[in-house]
């Protein structure tokens, strides 16, 4: 029989084989006695074979009778070839002894069966999110498959398949009648026709080889980390364009939750790294993705119409249509431009030049450029959120004397961004907006044809010359030049108010308009279509936007010690903050759930103003006599109960804790310190010594110096004693303290966070500190409360976390929140303990307690009071906790929610009984949350707690956004 030709046998119903028959075939033809489970397939009949233990032993495949023996032999040979060549796991013939690998099972016709090895690991469920790393792994697998098959050949590969994109135009033509809705049919036909036109022109330059033809989520198997590393189902093996292998893989990515064209870029880059794409292949790639998606839609509808019982075919219809819509969302040239940029193959950007000024009566020197970027001072204090921000700033510039004001071409405009958005907003300008101070005369910048039309809010005018089109839209009064051919310099109308100016390059494929603003993911592609209008106004070319996040990160790692780690593998470049939001230079606004330091919020104008005033007036050290150091010390001491009335001012939490240790040692004349496991207290020599967290230092527990004594972490969720049993931690710690005293090493102090921040925001067991403080005091030592993270109102119910335990420490350390990010720390203790420091000399910190630091401290306290932030932490925190607890009823991954107010930890576990920490999941969830616009990070010794300690001005709406995004990630994958 000759190899298959789809166009001669268009209908391919799945062979009707029952599970019973399948069991007989496996037993009688291959000697495999097995239990049978039917597997889905669009064209073949596939069955999973289980052994007596239930473990899979192989897969029985009964090929569609349309396929000949030689084709099946080619497929099995290719699978073995890829395994040998690239080490990619493939399903190869099981070859039971003495039995030919392929059996003809129907005497009357060619129905062939074979048993292939079963590959563990499972495919990638299309309903879930595909992370950039997994998308890249899919692209890499497709690339390696092509690399392996580059030298493979077999007589069974020359077949005519509907899946071979060389025939995609014909396939769509033959099968599109199955798309019953006329609008949808027209959309598929016209998208396929435009894509085919481009591909046909490139066809002669597209390299060919044998390809697998279906490297998709369905046909891969994954390693234990979920990364595709194996390939099954060689049924679409054919000779075709090599780039088709990638197009098919890329199209399959579009089926996943939240995927869009840009989601395929990591796969395309990974493929290119293994099997570099040539220029023609780059141009053909996205048109082929569109063609593949069209073929999949029409084939799916055809299959479900001829094979109504094929659930596999019918269930996929929605996602197939979604793939098509996502593939065609952008104009072909825009996505191709974007791919070119991603692969470093961008075309040189030649600016378009004018032969006459676009605005005859405007001197370039009188034009003021309006900087609306993320780093612009003009958008401080949340001004970017005002809907009339741009007009208002332009008016100000005009009032200050500008003849016209223009925005910046190709740059990000923060004014176009939004908070709480799960996709990136369109922030990159493809043209410029111009505000005139007085009416200006518009002229043709080059010879060409004029088009003009009145629009609802003004008019549109364009002049098309040989190199491109200039288009002006907005408050225009038109002269009567529409349809005319004009020479450069001809007056065309009057600019009476704000207008948009676009320079569109030729050729301008398709007739889709260029939006004024585009999303950063596609900016490079859209900007290929346009040119900088600056030249038309006599202005110098617009400077390039600031370096991107990847370039910055490389520069940072060259100059900045890398042991100072950064969040995220590919961190966004954050250059602005506002309230509970952090803003990247591409205009993406992230909800900041981790910045416990910025209690009053980012970019607070009251703080900026107060600091700026104090800097202009005085900044010096606390050996001078100025008022604010006394005022701030009084204010701080007043927040604490008696006898804590004496303040030291330093610059950080580490310094505060270090000083507390020295005070305790000075006051007691001893050197031993008792600390709890799972703790972090700082980076200085002494505070590092008492830090026991293995997340911060994997060797922490084995490398503590002899003067540090560690008591068990009083973790009531997953420590040795859980729930009510957690009451046992206190007597255990007391016994250790008493033991030390008995051995002649009574401790100078016991130090702990009074609410366990580093362990994930866990409340200490009731009565814990009361018992332990009593024991350490009984042994002549002091009680130190490290309030660096948990103090200052964050827990909502208490200003100081030790109040939750109903105790009063001897020494309190605070930092972080005190300065809202400005280096500021304090130790507050009794006069007597403070005085004991004199035995060590006198205390001086050059910047600690400086006028600027004290003003910062005072202003933060003022804002916390004035804006009732502790109260907000309580109400919004309680709301947030209740909503996450509700999520926990639906998502078993949430083991528990620790914390109080706006200090919370969501602990993720794989099993509610064993509490196996879900560390890999937590990391991946944080990555996806960032894609959805939320910054949240793992914490705890097992890195399985989502730490949630946002600025205390977090709104209920922001809390709800967080919950919605977490719900989405937990529901659709990470």
Q: What 3-state class would DSSP assign to 2?
A: coil
DSSP string, 209-236: EEE-S--SGGGEEE-TTS-EEEE---TT
Taking the complex as a whole, the smallest distance from the CB of residue 661 to ligand PMP amounts, in Å, to 12
CA-CA-CA-CA dihedral for 785, 639, 808, 655, to nearest 10 = 20
CA distance 945 to 757: 11
CA distance 786 to 694: 19
Taking the complex as a whole, the smallest distance from the CB of residue 566 to ligand PMP amounts, in Å, to 15
- Strand (E) or helix (H) holding 320: helix 317-327
Among 541, 476, 464, 540, residue whose Cα is nearest residue 503: 464
Rank residues 242 and 692 by Cβ distance to ligand PMP and give the closer one: 692
Neighbours of 759 (CB within 10 A): 31
Taking the complex as a whole, the smallest distance from the CB of residue 903 to ligand PMP amounts, in Å, to 11
Whether 702 contacts 694, CB under 8 Å: no
Whether 935 contacts 590, CB under 8 Å: yes
Taking the complex as a whole, the smallest distance from the CB of residue 928 to ligand PMP amounts, in Å, to 25
Whether 156 contacts 71, CB under 8 Å: yes
CA distance 429 to 654: 45
Q: Which residues contact 642 (CB under 8 A, 6 or more apart)?
A: none
Q: Which two tokens stand for residue 557?
A: 């790692």
Taking the complex as a whole, the smallest distance from the CB of residue 681 to ligand PMP amounts, in Å, to 5
Q: Which two tokens stand for residue 643?
A: 């006898």
Taking the complex as a whole, the smallest distance from the CB of residue 469 to ligand PMP amounts, in Å, to 56
Residue 796 exposed, middle or buried by CB count within 10 Å (0-12, 13-18, 19+): buried
CA-CA-CA-CA dihedral for 498, 500, 501, 506, to nearest 10 = -160
Whether 471 contacts 461, CB under 8 Å: yes
Taking the complex as a whole, the smallest distance from the CB of residue 850 to ligand PMP amounts, in Å, to 17
Rank residues 251 and 788 by Cβ distance to ligand PMP and give the closer one: 788
Q: Check residue 400 and report its DSSP letter.
A: T
Rank residues 410 and 938 by Cβ distance to ligand PMP and give the closer one: 938
Rank residues 682 and 796 by Cβ distance to ligand PMP and give the closer one: 682
Question: Tokens 């505070």 identify what position?
Answer: 687
Rank residues 154 and 947 by Cβ distance to ligand PMP and give the closer one: 947
Q: Which two tokens stand for residue 325?
A: 């819509």
Q: Check residue 99 and report its DSSP letter.
A: S
CA angle (921 as vertex; 915, 924 as ends), nearest 5: 160
Rank residues 357 and 682 by Cβ distance to ligand PMP and give the closer one: 682
Taking the complex as a whole, the smallest distance from the CB of residue 758 to ligand PMP amounts, in Å, to 6
Taking the complex as a whole, the smallest distance from the CB of residue 865 to ligand PMP amounts, in Å, to 23
Rank residues 389 and 647 by Cβ distance to ligand PMP and give the closer one: 647
Among 812, 758, 806, residue whose Cα is nearest residue 787: 812
Rank residues 241 and 680 by Cβ distance to ligand PMP and give the closer one: 680
Rank residues 255 and 816 by Cβ distance to ligand PMP and give the closer one: 816
Rank residues 397 and 598 by Cβ distance to ligand PMP and give the closer one: 598
Among 660, 632, 681, residue whose Cα is nearest residue 833: 660
Task: Provide the H-helix boundaries in 743-787.
Answer: 768-778
Which positions touch ligand PMP (CB under 6 A)? 652-654, 657, 680-682, 753, 757-758, 786, 788-789, 815-816
Question: Tokens 């209740």 identify what position?
Answer: 882
Taking the complex as a whole, the smallest distance from the CB of residue 654 to ligand PMP amounts, in Å, to 3
Half-sphere exposure of 85 toward its Cβ, with a 13 Å CA cutoff? Answer: 17
Rank residues 323 and 939 by Cβ distance to ligand PMP and give the closer one: 939
Rank residues 753 and 941 by Cβ distance to ligand PMP and give the closer one: 753
Whether 115 contacts 94, CB under 8 Å: yes
Q: Would you tell me the crossing angle of helices 69-86 and 132-149 to the nearest 10 degrees?
A: 110
Taking the complex as a whole, the smallest distance from the CB of residue 949 to ligand PMP amounts, in Å, to 10
CA distance 897 to 894: 8
CA-CA-CA-CA dihedral for 216, 219, 223, 227, to nearest 10 = 0
Taking the complex as a whole, the smallest distance from the CB of residue 735 to ligand PMP amounts, in Å, to 25
Task: Name the residue with the smallest CB distance to ligand PMP.
Answer: 653
CA distance 709 to 10: 78
Neighbours of 962 (CB within 10 A): 26
CA distance 525 to 518: 10
Rank residues 214 and 658 by Cβ distance to ligand PMP and give the closer one: 658
Rank residues 397 and 824 by Cβ distance to ligand PMP and give the closer one: 824
Taking the complex as a whole, the smallest distance from the CB of residue 363 to ligand PMP amounts, in Å, to 54
Rank residues 58 and 899 by Cβ distance to ligand PMP and give the closer one: 899
């Amino acid at each position: 029989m000759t190899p298959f030709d789809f166009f001669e046998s268009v209908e391919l119903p799945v062979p009707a084989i029952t599970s019973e028959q399948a069991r007989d075939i496996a037993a009688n033809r291959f000697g495999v006695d097995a239990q049978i489970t039917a597997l889905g397939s669009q064209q073949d009949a596939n069955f999973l074979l289980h052994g007596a233990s239930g473990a899979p032993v192989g897969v029985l495949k009964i090929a569609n009778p349309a396929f000949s023996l030689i084709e099946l032999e080619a497929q099995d040979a290719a699978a073995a070839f890829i395994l040998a060549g690239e080490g990619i796991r493939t399903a190869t013939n099981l070859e039971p002894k003495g039995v030919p690998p392929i059996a003809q099972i129907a005497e009357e016709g060619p129905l062939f069966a074979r048993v292939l090895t079963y590959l563990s690991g499972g495919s990638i469920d299309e309903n879930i999110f595909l992370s950039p790393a997994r998308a890249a792994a899919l692209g890499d697998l497709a690339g390696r498959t092509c690399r392996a098959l580059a030298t493979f050949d077999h007589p069974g590969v020359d077949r005519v398949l509907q899946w071979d994109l060389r025939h995609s135009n014909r396939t769509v033509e033959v099968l599109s009648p199955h798309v019953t809705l006329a609008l949808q049919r027209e959309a598929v036909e016209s998208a396929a026709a435009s894509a085919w036109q481009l591909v046909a022109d490139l066809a002669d330059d597209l390299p060919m080889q044998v390809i697998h033809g279906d490297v998709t989520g369905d046909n891969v198997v994954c390693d234990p980390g979920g990364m595709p590393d194996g390939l099954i189902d060689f049924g679409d093996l054919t000779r075709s364009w090599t780039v088709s292998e990638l197009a098919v893989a890329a199209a399959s990515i579009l089926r996943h939750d939240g995927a869009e064209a840009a989601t395929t870029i990591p796969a395309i880059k990974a493929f290119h790294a293994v099997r570099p794409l040539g220029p023609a292949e780059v141009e053909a790639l996205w048109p082929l993705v569109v063609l593949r998606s069209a073929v999949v839609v029409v084939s799916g509808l055809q299959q479900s119409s001829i094979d109504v019982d094929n659930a596999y075919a019918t269930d996929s219809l929605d996602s197939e249509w979604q793939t098509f819509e996502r593939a065609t969302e952008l104009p072909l040239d825009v996505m191709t431009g974007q791919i070119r940029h991603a692969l470093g193959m961008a075309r040189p950007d030649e600016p378009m030049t004018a032969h006459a000024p676009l605005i005859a009566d405007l001197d370039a020197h009188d034009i003021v450029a309006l900087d609306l970027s993320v780093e612009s001072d003009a958008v401080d204090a949340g001004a970017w959120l005002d809907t009339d921000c741009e007009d208002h700033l332009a008016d100000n510039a005009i009032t200050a004397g500008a003849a016209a004001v223009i925005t910046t071409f190709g740059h990000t405009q923060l004014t176009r961004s939004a908070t709480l958005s799960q996709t990136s907003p369109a922030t990159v300008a493809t043209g410029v907006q111009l505000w005139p101070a007085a009416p200006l005369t518009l002229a043709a910048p080059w010879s060409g044809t004029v088009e003009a039309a009145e629009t609802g809010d003004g008019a549109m005018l364009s002049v098309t010359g040989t190199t491109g089109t200039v288009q002006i839209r907005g408050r225009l009064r038109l002269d009567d030049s529409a349809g005319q051919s004009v020479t450069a310099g001809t007056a065309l109308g009057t600019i009476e108010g704000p207008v948009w100016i676009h320079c569109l390059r030729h050729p301008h494929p398709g007739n889709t308009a260029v939006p004024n603003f585009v999303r950063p993911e596609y900016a490079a592609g859209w900007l290929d279509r346009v040119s900088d209008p600056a030249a038309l106004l006599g202005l110098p070319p617009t400077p390039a936007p600031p370096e991107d996040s990847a370039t910055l990160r490389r520069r940072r790692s060259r100059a900045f010690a890398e042991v100072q780690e950064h969040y995220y593998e590919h961190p966004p470049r954050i250059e602005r903050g506002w309230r509970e939001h952090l803003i990247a230079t591409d205009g993406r606004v992230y909800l900041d759930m981790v910045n416990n330091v910025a209690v009053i919020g980012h970019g607070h104008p009251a703080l900026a103003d107060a600091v700026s005033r104090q800097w202009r007036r005085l900044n010096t050290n606390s050996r001078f006599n100025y008022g604010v150091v006394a005022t701030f010390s009084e204010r701080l001491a007043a927040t604490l109960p008696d006898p804590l009335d004496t303040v030291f001012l330093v610059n950080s939490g580490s310094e505060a804790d270090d000083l507390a240790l020295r005070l305790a040692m000075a006051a007691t004349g001893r050197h031993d310190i008792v600390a709890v496991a799972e703790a972090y207290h700082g980076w200085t020599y002494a505070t590092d010594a008492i830090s026991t967290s293995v997340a911060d230092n994997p060797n922490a527990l084995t490398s503590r110096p002899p003067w540090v004594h560690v008591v068990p972490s009083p973790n009531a969720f997953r420590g040795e004693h859980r729930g009510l049993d957690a009451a046992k931690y206190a007597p255990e710690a007391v016994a250790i303290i008493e033991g030390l005293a008995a051995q002649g090493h009574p401790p100078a102090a016991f130090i702990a966070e009074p609410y366990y921040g580093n362990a994930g925001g866990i409340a200490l067991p009731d009565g814990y500190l009361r018992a332990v403080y009593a024991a350490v005091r009984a042994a002549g030592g002091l009680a130190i409360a490290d309030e660096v993270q948990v103090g200052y109102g964050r827990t909502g119910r208490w200003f100081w976390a030790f109040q939750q335990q109903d105790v009063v420490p001897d020494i309190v350390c605070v930092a972080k929140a005190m300065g809202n990010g400005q280096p500021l720390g304090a130790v507050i203790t009794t006069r007597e303990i403070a005085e004991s420091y004199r035995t060590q000399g006198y205390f001086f910190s050059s910047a600690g307690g400086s006028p600027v630091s004290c003003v910062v401290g005072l202003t933060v306290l003022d804002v916390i009071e004035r804006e009732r932030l502790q109260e907000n932490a309580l109400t919004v925190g309680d709301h947030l906790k209740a909503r996450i607890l509700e999520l926990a009823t639906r998502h078993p991954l949430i083991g528990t929610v620790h914390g109080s107010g706006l200090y919370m930890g969501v602990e993720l576990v794989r099993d509610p009984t064993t509490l196996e920490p879900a560390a890999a999941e937590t990391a991946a969830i944080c990555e996806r949350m960032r894609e959805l616009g939320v910054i949240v990070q793992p914490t705890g010794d097992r890195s399985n707690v989502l730490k949630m300690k946002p600025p205390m001005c977090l709104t209920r709406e922001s809390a709800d956004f967080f919950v919605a995004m977490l719900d989405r990630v937990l529901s659709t994958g990470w």
